[in-house]
Amino acid sequence: MSIWIDKQGRRHVGVMVKGRRVHRILEAGAPASDAKQLESRLIAELTAAKPLAGDPMLEEVMPLYMEHAKTTRWPDQSEQCAKRIQPWLTGFRASQAREVAAKIIRDMKPAYKPATINRSLAALKKALSLAWDLGMTQVNHGLEIKSLPPNNKREVFLTLGEVEKLAEHCPEGVQAAIWIALYTGARRGEVLAIKPDDVGSHSLTIHAQNTKTLRTRVVPIVDPLWRWLSIVPLPYKDYEGLKSGFQRGRKKAGMEHVNFHDLRHSCASILIASGADLYTVSKILGHAAVTTTQRYAHMQVEQQRVALEKAFA
């Protein structure tokens, strides 16, 4: 519990009782006695477990995010992130967001990766931010939610033979997505967004609005890719259709450890194994900076080691 004055001369009152934290800001010029009275009232209300003004239920806040999700680049995925954490929100108020987030992290960790958990936490944070913008709360409780440290590095690099094995167990649409991803380094969303007009006589254009970096890139078309580009757009309305087909295929192939994104990493590893430098790889993959491509630097070092051993053995 504390009272302080900010640079604008406004008095702040912070109270925490039974794990519930409330922060209120008084009007500029309010005397210390008003802050003391507010502090006492908040403590009494929290102790009595009475709902506080400007402290809506989280179930009332999340619909704000659902509306916002419709305006995002991938609305289906955004809505799924919010629905995933819905069971944890029942019975809790906005001021308890940090407590709820901690429980979400604890319960989801055994089944989900940090990146997946963070996307769901981001939905809750945005909902709370929208509630604050609309005056439903007197403080942005979303700022109290901390994300997990990302741990997305994967070391799954497929050979051409392994990709062939995976693809042959998939329907044609999934096969096309697999080979397009491998031959271009494109992400799943980028593959699904390719239209016939994007296919030129010598190169493929991946438009900015479909990329993670919001930058258009042009990738040369290698001969084996033409067969698969002939059937774009792929027969999937959204990524869920491709995802389910890919998961069934990898299970049949006995490669359940493989993710679709591993094809992008495999593109990089095959390029480097053929002698491509990191700058060239970064341009093909569409990295915003070559520093992102440094994760593949160890492959070049291994090539250099082999070369040295051949030369001086």
Give the per-residue pLDDT at 279: 86
Mark out the alpha helices in the chain (DSSP H runs). Answer: 32-47, 58-69, 75-84, 86-89, 97-108, 114-133, 160-167, 172-184, 188-192, 226-229, 239-252, 262-273, 278-285, 297-312
- Cα→Cα distances 35→17, 31, 42, 48, Å: 17, 7, 10, 20
Instruction: Determine the pLDDT at residue 177.
Output: 96
DSSP 1: -
CB-CB contact of 122 with 81 (8 Å) = yes
- Residue position matching structure tokens 């250099």: 304
Residue 24: beta bridge partners?
Answer: 13
pLDDT at residue 306, rounded to an integer: 67
Note the CATH architecture for domain 160-312.
Answer: Orthogonal Bundle (1.10)
Q: Left, alpha or beta for 27 (phi > 0: left; psi -120 to 50: alpha)? A: beta
Rounded (to 5) percent helix, strand, coil in the chain: 55, 10, 35
Question: What does the pLDDT read at residue 128?
Answer: 94
List the chain domain ranges.
Answer: 2-47, 58-144, 160-312
pLDDT tens-place values along the chain, 313 residues long:
578 888 778 888 888 776 667 788 887 778 888 888 888 777 776 666 544 458 899 999 999 999 888 888 778 888 999 999 999 999 999 999 999 999 999 999 998 888 889 999 999 999 999 998 888 898 899 999 988 886 656 678 899 999 999 999 999 999 999 999 999 999 999 999 999 999 999 999 999 888 888 889 999 999 999 999 999 999 987 778 898 999 999 999 999 999 999 999 999 888 888 888 888 888 888 887 777 777 777 666 666 666 657 665 5
Distance CA 63, CA 50 (A): 24
